[in-house]
Structure formats: structure tokens, C-alpha cells
Amino acid sequence: MSENSTMTANSGHHEHEHENHSVFGFWLYLMSDCVIFGCLFASYAVLHGQFFNDNITFKALMSKGVIEWQTVAYETALLLLSSLTFGFAMLSAHKGNKSGTLLWMVVSAVLGAGFLGLEINEFMHLIAHGATPESCAHWSAFFTLVGTHGLHVTLGLIWMIVLMVQVATKGVNSKMMPRLTCLSLFWHFLDIIWICVFSFVYLLSMV
């Protein structure tokens, strides 16, 4: 508590302005990321159903049990929970609670890693059944879109681990807050992209 009040007193107006600028800069990066995903969704929508081989359509793989809606549901649950727990980490950080921040960050990272594990497992299954990125235009677009999201999650996890080390060694000070805030924006943003992925890639293909 006393640590927190000195932090607030020292940070002052100028520091706060600086923090807002770097967070807004990161926000603009996220917006460009949003446009990138818009392009990937557009190419997926166009190439969806453009098959060279009828045995590896989305529905054929579903009926074989290679793609299961349960997997998508678990992935969604893990990512949503991870977003919530990272929110708790941010609340702890704003209170200057170092151990609480670390604890919730570890929980978020484990949930995020669980999501990634499920996704990699699903990709391996798809590839084993002939749905490779090279097999046809639909699967190229699928792996590019879903894989780009997975890559973002991977980078988010690496970033989270780096910040956990920094929080553990340096504590939650005024220099850490903009970094944590940027990561929280990134992590919540990935959740938003995932909403579009499970709605428009998975669920729409099951209709």
C-alpha cells in the first residue's frame, strides 16, 4: 500500500501522459492488426469451400471426428477464462500487489498454453488426415488465418513470461504499468479475434 502511494506520488502528471501515449501507440498497432485479420478473414471467406479433394472438406472431417465442436468449445473456454484472469492480474497490479499480479499472470499463461496445446493438437490431426496447408486453397486460407491467431497467442505467452520475470524481479512499479497495460490490451484483443474465428470459421462451416 505504501509502495503504491509513493509510486503514484512520484509518477506525476508528465509520467502519466507518457504512459497514455505509449498505450495509445500500442492501441494503434492493435488496430492495424485488426485490419490484417480483416484481410485474412476476407481471403478465407472467398476460398472457403474451394476444394480439390472432396474427402477433406470441413464437413467430411467433422463426420470422421477429426474436427470436433467440443475442441472449439474447450479452446474458447480456455481463452475466455484466460482473459478474465489476466483482468484480475491487472487489478492486482493497479493495487501494487506483486504476488497477486504474478499469481494471476501464471494462471493466465497456463490457460493460454492450454489453448495453444489444443490448437496444435487439432492442427496435427488435420494434417494427419490430409488437410495440410498445401492440400487446397481452403486449407491454405484456414491455416493462415487460424495459424496467425495461434502465432499471436504464442507471442503473447512469450511476452507474458518476460513480464512475469520482470514483475518478479522489479515489482509492479510505474515503469511496469504501461507494459502490463499493453499486454492486457493484446491479450483481450486476441479473444475478440477468436470470437470471429469460432463463429465464422468453425460454427459457420458446421451449418
Partner 1 sequence: MVENHAVSSHGEDHGHGSIVSYIVGFILSVILTVGSFWSVLGHALSNSAVIIALGVLAVLQIFVQVTFFLHVSAAPEQRSEVVSFLFSVFVALVICFGTLFVMHNVGHLMMAR
Site residues for partner 1 per CB under 8 A: 4-5, 8-9, 16, 24, 27-28, 31-32, 34-35, 37-39, 41-43, 45-46, 69, 73, 76, 80-81, 83-84, 87-88, 90-91, 94, 181, 185, 188-189, 191-192, 195-196, 198-200, 203-204, 206-207
Minimum distance, C-beta of residue 193 to partner 1, in the bound complex (Å): 10
Q: Would you call 131 exposed, middle or buried from its count of C-beta atoms within 10 A (0-12, 13-18, 19+)?
A: buried
A 10 A CB-CB count for 96 gives 20
A 10 A CB-CB count for 41 gives 17
**Is the CB of 59 or the CB of 128 nearer to partner 1?**
59
CA distance 11 to 14: 8
Minimum distance, C-beta of residue 53 to partner 1, in the bound complex (Å): 20
Minimum distance, C-beta of residue 128 to partner 1, in the bound complex (Å): 25
**Is the CB of 24 or the CB of 134 nearer to partner 1?**
24
Give CA separation, 112 vs 32, 80, 117, 159, 173, in Å.
23, 9, 9, 12, 25
H or E stretch including 135? none
- Per the CB < 8 A criterion, the answer to whether 41 and 196 are in contact is yes
CA distance 105 to 103: 5
Minimum distance, C-beta of residue 149 to partner 1, in the bound complex (Å): 15
Q: How many helices (H) and strands (E) does the chain have?
A: 7, 0
Nearest C-alpha neighbor of 197 from the set 37, 59, 36, 29: 37
**Is the CB of 165 or the CB of 192 nearer to partner 1?**
192
Residue type (1 letter), 161: I
DSSP state of 55: G
Minimum distance, C-beta of residue 175 to partner 1, in the bound complex (Å): 16
**Is the CB of 13 or the CB of 54 nearer to partner 1?**
13
**Is the CB of 37 or the CB of 123 nearer to partner 1?**
37
**Is the CB of 83 or the CB of 135 nearer to partner 1?**
83
Minimum distance, C-beta of residue 158 to partner 1, in the bound complex (Å): 21
